[in-house]
Amino acid sequence: MRIRMPLPKLDSTGQFFEQWWSTQGEWVEQPNQRRGGESGVLRTTTEDGKVIYIKRQENHIYRDIFHPFGQATIIREYKAYCALTKAQVNVPTLIYCGVQNKKAILVTEALDGFIDLDSWMEQNQGQPFYAETLNKILTETATMLAKLHLNKLQHGSLYGKHLFVKAETNEQSLVEVALLDLEKIKKRNTAKEAALHDIPKIKRHSLLNSEQWHFFVNAYEQAFGNKLPKLYQ
């Protein structure tokens, strides 16, 4: 079980910003042009051997009714980390977040031993205790997503590649799950709105067959505390 540490405060003073901005590593998402700005993610290893990811953005903003002149997209992602941590949803450990002029940085620790759900299914299908372990994964995932939605939070881009699992196909089948890619998370008026937007995306973009899907939806409804017949369609 991962130990959840207190979230670092948003660095608006720039005290450590240049140190993180100048950190070198391997690009896992090459800088690309989005929202009129540039965004990219690099991976590197700290002196104590931890693998970390550094998201760097420049002039990358979003606008809404609360921020008509724009706000750094990374600040929205930072707020999502705060909201999900409060909701007890497992997410990568946040190490640093800072904004300096038009530049912004978000640093997270890699999920050690985790892989995305689709990859786990492909790698473990046919192994002993596969079905039992998958059912545990689906139950834990359903519980995690119900926590998200009961807090009226919508992921907005919920595909199998954003659902991460850590599990071994053995008799004990110890399972952990986590959620990634929090950039599009936003508040909805009701938990049901968030659920009906997010959950169907998993069906359209995952390897779950009909039987597995019905098992997952049943587990989700139990955790959510309400029936959602549309999810079975």
> CA 148, 203, 226 angle in degrees (round to 5)?
45
Using a 10 angstrom Cβ sphere, with 0-12 exposed, 13-18 middle and 19 or more buried, the burial of residue 24 is exposed
- Give the per-residue pLDDT at 1: 44
pLDDT 10s digits, 159-175: 888 999 999 877 777 89
Give the confidence band of 68 by pLDDT, cuts at 50, 70, 90. Answer: low
Of 26-30, 63-67, 82-86, 180-184, the range with the lowest mean pLDDT is 63-67
Q: For the residues 45-73, what does the mean pLDDT come to?
A: 85
Helix or strand holding residue 69 (H, E): strand 67-72
Comparison of pLDDT for 172 and 67, the residue scoring more: 172
Instruction: Answer positive or negative: Cα dihedral of 54, 60, 61, 62.
Output: negative
Q: How many helices (H) and strands (E) does the chain have?
A: 6, 12
CA dist., res. 52 & res. 64, Å (int): 31
- Average pLDDT of the chain is 90
**What domains, with CATH codes, occur in the chain?**
17-109 (3.30.200.20), 115-232 (1.10.510.10)
Question: Sorting pLDDT into bands at 50, 70 and 90, what band is 232?
Answer: confident
d(CA 139, CA 133) in angstroms, rounded, equals 10
Q: Which residues contact 204 (CB under 8 A, 6 or more apart)?
A: none
Q: Tell me which amino acid residue 137 is.
A: I
53 pLDDT tier (thresholds 50, 70, 90)? very high
Q: pLDDT band at 109, cuts 50/70/90?
A: very high
pLDDT of 127 > 70? The answer is: yes
pTM for this model (two decimals): 0.89
Cβ–Cβ < 8 Å for 107, 56: no
Residue 3 banded pLDDT, cuts 50, 70, 90 = very low
Compute φ and ψ for 6, nearest 5 degrees.
-60, 145
The tens digit of pLDDT for each residue in 173-201 reads: 789 999 999 989 999 999 999 999 999 99
Tell me the C-alpha to C-alpha distance, in Å, between residue 124 and each of 30, 117, 128, 129.
30, 11, 9, 9
Could you report the per-residue pLDDT of 5-29, keeping only the tens digit for each?
A: 566 878 777 788 999 999 999 999 9
DSSP 3-state of 3: coil
Q: Answer whether 138's CB lies under 8 Å from 163's CB.
A: no
Helices of type H across 116-207? 117-124, 130-150, 191-204
For residue 61, what pLDDT is reported? Answer: 78
Under 8 Å CB-to-CB from 166, ≥6 apart: which residues?
111, 113, 114, 115, 175, 176, 177, 178
Query: Which one has a higher pLDDT value, 42 or 232?
Result: 42
CA–CA separation, 181 vs 139, rounded Å?
Answer: 21
